[in-house]
Structure 1
Amino acid sequence: MESKTLENLRVLIVDDQRSFQLMFKGILYSMGATNVAFAPTGEQALAKCINMDYDVLFVDYHLGTGKNGKQLLEDLREKKLLKPSSIFMIVTGENTVPMVMSAVELEPDDYLIKPFSQRVLRSRIQKIQHKKVKLNALYQALYDEQGDTIIELCQQEISTEGRYQQFCKRVLAETFIKHRKLDAAQQVLSQNLEQHRSGWALVLQAQIYFDQGEFQRCLELCEEALESNRYFAEAFDLKAKAYMAMAQPDEALQCILNASEIAPHSIKRQYLMMEIARKVHDMPRQVQASKQLYEITRRSLKQDVIHLQNYIRTVIEAAMESEEPQQKNRYQQETMIALQRARLDESMIKDIDFDLFEVLCQARLESLSGQQFQAKRTFATVADLLHGQEHSLADAVLLLNQIGEYEEADSLKQKISKETLDNPVLDAIIQRQTDITVSRKEYFAQYNKEGIRLYKAGLFSEAAKQFEQALELAPMNTGAALNYIQSLLQLLSQPQHFKVGDAFERCRKAFRVVDNMPLPEHHRVRYQELLSRYEKIRTERRR
């Protein structure tokens, strides 16, 4: 009977090594398998599962450049392509802690490290089969996400004090928490913890304490869970969140670093890493976490160009804040490489106007390098394309604030949808830029306002000096440039009080800020009037 463990079952081996496929097939045949299929990549395995239900899947973690085994499992679950009775086993030759724990966190039915014996394989499969058969109704309810049925079936199994009562207690507590029935969850957990201080129960109880704002009690239970299992990444995650809630970001950072070292391939964990790293102003770790998020998702169903954009935005932000020239240059180079690499991944960028996003990023890099005129010219080439391009409005705002076009930036910012700002990384980047530029904008506004007052008082030379100060803070600001030009033209009308050649040269430089640039209507009309006056005065001086 034991030799027929896989009889009449459809088996799929997902491994990119042909030699292992053939060897493993021989082992499975000896266990009764006669219907065995192969897929060398995660993408091909997913395609096969769309067309066929498999009873048992043996999946290698590393599958070349495409989806890995963990991503395949996520995709199959997301698409409901794994039957409740199906067995999914990750099989790999790598046994490093980050790889093993990242895979185990997703809770496949089992995890095997090569090499393994036929006896071990048979024992593992039979154990899973027994559990799947005994809890068949529960697995179906979990698959169908029927909360009330899950609760009822778990309570039935627990009442029998059967072999799987611990599993059912955990599922029951998790279901209660998911449906915000915290009192019921606590009753299950407290009863379980009285009998056995299991790690899962400690962490679930700690999660309840966290939700209730009892952060110190949350920390204590997480510590207890880690004493019995130092690789309990979820306990470190929860500790990090508790420390953040207690305004202790340095302690939170150490916890999330521990969690990420154990199991780095978690989307939620990397988002938490970014949040904490931002709080302690650790740009290198923000960049690393944003890159990790992009890499985790780029070959899975969770692939989203937002992760690519956030990664590139974070690297540019790091370049802006870097005080070390070599580090700034490295970040700028990393941005260019990421943009070039993205162009080779058509599936990633197919849903957005990537050309527009790339041009805006290029302009931001030009501004970073001190090429303010070029940055504004680059923006001018795509300004008319921004209408209806929600994905790039925020990048235009970031660029315009960078070059000092505050009024236009504020105008565009009003058009960014709430949905776009629900992106926590982008929202944080915009908020950070706002915090950095607020004092600069205040001083700019003061100089500009004082210049206008002096101009109205007929003090054109003093007014020009104020507008010069404003342009030092915002060198590409159209309004300040036009104000400056207007003051200089008044001085040119009174050459006895001003060096004519110097005034013409200053006017010429100021016009560069607005020449051939897309302008709002009121600025465009004013620009044309000032340009006509300038040409007229220059012509008169030549006579």
Structure 2
Amino acid sequence: MNNKTLENQRILIVDDQRAFQLMFKGILYSMGATNVAFAPTGEQALAKCANVNYDILFVDYHLGVGKNGKQLLEDLREKKLLGPHSIFMLVTGENTVPMVMSAVELEPDDYLVKPFSQNVLRSRILRIKRKKTQLAAVYQALFDEQAEQVVTLCQQEIGTEGRYQQFCKRVLVENLIKLNHLSEAEHILQETLSQRRSGWALLLQAKVYYRQNRYEDSMALCQEAIENNRYFAEAYDIQAQNYRAMGETDKAFSSIQAAAEIAPYSMQRQYLVMEIARDLNNIPQQVLASKQLYEITRRSIKQDIIHLLNYIRTVIEAAVRADEPASRNRYLQEVSLALQRVKRDEMMTREINFDLFEALCQARLESLNGAQYQAKKTYAAVSEELHDQHQILPDAIFLLNQIGEYEQAATLQKLLPAELMANPVLNSLFGDQQHFVDQKQLQFGELNKAGIKSYKEGNFTAAVRQFEAALEVAPMNTGSALNLIQASIQLLNSQQRNKSRELFERCKKTFRVVDNMPLPEHHRVRYKELLQQFDKLRDEFRR
């Protein structure tokens, strides 16, 4: 091999260690490179790639603060800044299983572990360049996301029986599955597996069987793939999906946990962890997965404020559902720390009115700590700001349901954009709370209905008792509070004054549920009428 391997190649080294940059530049120059640029961070590398179409990128996995090498690769692909001919090589000094497997899953062109020799580097580059040159049309079709064209080109290449036919078979099958041509994919895979039980073919056949609801057949292939390679995270993923489809949720969770331990930095995998943990009502694992989703996306192209909001929402929901005071306090502390940490990250919070989000979170915490009136007062102070804050509407709905304002919560829920509800974590949070609310509403509805019945029958004592019980279930429910006030006023009018002082004070206290609160029109009219009646009683009690 000559020393002109890298002649005329535009090269970018992305590494935050200056000493390594200079050492690596020397190696590249000895291989014929003359055009070598540097970037110490993923963000700077992304900016350089927007202006220059590099032929080869050597990217360290760890880049200090900001994007890591994996996230940079995701960004470059998403923004179409990594050309079909370009070579992307991840470089790292770490060789831990989670680090290596998470990087390998993203399929860079190669993965180098420091230290490496010049000969190893040269042979890797030459091998990749030959492959990219021979399959230039296939890589271009993949870059253009033309699945049908990829299928045609791969079939042509396989027909030549060249050195890359196994690679082309894998790409062909992946795109047939993408196009939902499952029978054709299965035929190719069966033929391939009859010759060699390769991991990629076992995995793709397991995927096909899963899509065809052939769970036992899919499971057998997953097991074979795992026995051949115990670090095959994707095989554990499909195994978990099969177990879940078969109703064996505990086994599904064991499988997805194994996958997440091997390669934790996959959004799809963490979503599956959350779904299965939710099936099992495993709250700590739901919190952990939601935090992992936030951390994975925080510096990547997938960054979205919803991952942060959902993490905090998940922790609050965990606190709501915690049975032990110690567990609840732990979750409450986690919420406070998360809110403090995030407020320092203006890049993350500028998309929304974060002060409004924080106020609603604090109101939910106040409600949890028994300060129901303060929680409702907090909501009243910010309710006017909610109309154009769709990202934060869920938090207002969660709060209203938590304090028992079911009618107002249902009204706000109709305003939620469909695209917001497409997020699986948010959807699950609504599902979890709705299950809780349904039970509470049933209990509340029966008590409130009984109170209305007693009131109509003129049994105001029973009505007061039943409306008070309803407010124990839904402490800040406006409708029931007004019902209680109305029944109390009727009872006060029928009792002697010296027997009524306690009831009078309780009625006065109930007004706090509705005083200075945002009310629907029908409640506002009723409130004013009842307030006038109560003021007359107040004058009598002062005499």
Q: Please give the TM-score of this superposition, normalised by the length of structure 2.
A: 0.98
**2:267 alignment partner in structure 1:** 267
1:80 alignment partner AA: K
**2:464 alignment partner in structure 1:** 464
Question: Are 1:107 and 2:114 counterparts?
Answer: no
3-state SS in 2 of match to 1:382 = helix
1:190 alignment partner AA: Q
Distance 1:36 1:155 in 2: 38
Distance 1:156 1:450 in 2: 76
CA offsets per residue over residues 330-359 of structure 1, 9 Å max, x none? 111111221222222222222222222211
**2:305 alignment partner in structure 1:** 305
**1:372 alignment partner in structure 2:** 372
2:299 alignment partner AA: R
2:277 alignment partner AA: A
CA displacement at 1:148 relative to structure 2: 3.0
Moved over 3 A (4+): none
Distance 1:419 1:59 in 2: 35
Q: 1:491·1:497 contact (CA, 8 Å) conserved in 2?
A: no
CA displacement at 1:497 relative to structure 2: 8.4
**1:222 alignment partner in structure 2:** 222
Distance 2:144 2:496 in 1: 87
Distance 1:214 1:350 in 2: 47
Aligned length: 543
Q: Which structure 1 segments of 5+ residues have no match?
A: none
Q: 1:492·1:498 contact (CA, 8 Å) conserved in 2?
A: no
1:62 alignment partner AA: H
1:331 alignment partner AA: Y
3-state SS in 2 of match to 1:11 = strand
1:391 alignment partner AA: Q
Distance 2:2 2:150 in 1: 32
3-state SS in 2 of match to 1:116 = coil
CA displacement at 1:504 relative to structure 2: 1.5
Q: 1:491·1:498 contact (CA, 8 Å) conserved in 2?
A: no
Aligned CA distance change for structure 1 residues 498 and 135 (closer, same or farther; 3 Å)? farther
Q: 1:61·1:92 contact (CA, 8 Å) conserved in 2?
A: yes
Q: Which moved more, 1:340-349 or 1:452-461?
A: 340-349
Output the aligned Cα RMSD. Answer: 1.2
CA displacement at 1:156 relative to structure 2: 2.0
CA displacement at 1:470 relative to structure 2: 0.6
1:469-488 matches, cutoff 5 A: 469-488=469-488
CA offsets per residue over residues 222-250 of structure 1, 9 Å max, x none? 11111111111100000001111111110
Aligned CA distance change for structure 1 residues 518 and 137 (closer, same or farther; 3 Å)? same
**1:422 alignment partner in structure 2:** 422
Distance 1:451 1:396 in 2: 28
Distance 2:100 2:2 in 1: 29
CA displacement at 1:5 relative to structure 2: 1.0
**1:183 alignment partner in structure 2:** 183
Q: 1:85·1:133 contact (CA, 8 Å) conserved in 2?
A: yes
Question: Are 1:153 and 2:132 counterparts?
Answer: no
CA offsets per residue over residues 289-347 of structure 1, 9 Å max, x none? 10110011111111001101110111011111111212211111111221222222222
Q: Which moved more, 1:347-356 or 1:107-116?
A: 347-356
1:302-381 matches, cutoff 5 A: 302-381=302-381
**2:527 alignment partner in structure 1:** 527
Q: Which structure 2 segments of 5+ residues have no match?
A: none
**2:412 alignment partner in structure 1:** 412
**2:209 alignment partner in structure 1:** 209
Q: Please give the TM-score of this superposition, normalised by the length of structure 1.
A: 0.98
1:404 alignment partner AA: G
2:262 alignment partner AA: I
3-state SS in 1 of match to 2:91 = strand
2:10 alignment partner AA: R
Aligned CA distance change for structure 1 residues 526 and 78 (closer, same or farther; 3 Å)? same
CA offsets per residue over residues 81-120 of structure 1, 9 Å max, x none? 1111111000000100000000010000000001111111
Aligned CA distance change for structure 1 residues 246 and 115 (closer, same or farther; 3 Å)? same
Q: 1:56·1:88 contact (CA, 8 Å) conserved in 2?
A: yes
CA displacement at 1:533 relative to structure 2: 1.5
Aligned CA distance change for structure 1 residues 379 and 312 (closer, same or farther; 3 Å)? same
Q: 2:497·2:541 contact (CA, 8 Å) conserved in 1?
A: no
Distance 2:324 2:349 in 1: 32
CA displacement at 1:14 relative to structure 2: 0.2
1:2 alignment partner AA: N
1:65-84 matches, cutoff 5 A: 65-84=65-84
**1:443 alignment partner in structure 2:** 443
**1:125 alignment partner in structure 2:** 125
**1:493 alignment partner in structure 2:** 493
**1:94 alignment partner in structure 2:** 94
Distance 2:363 2:409 in 1: 15
1:87 alignment partner AA: I
Distance 1:226 1:448 in 2: 57
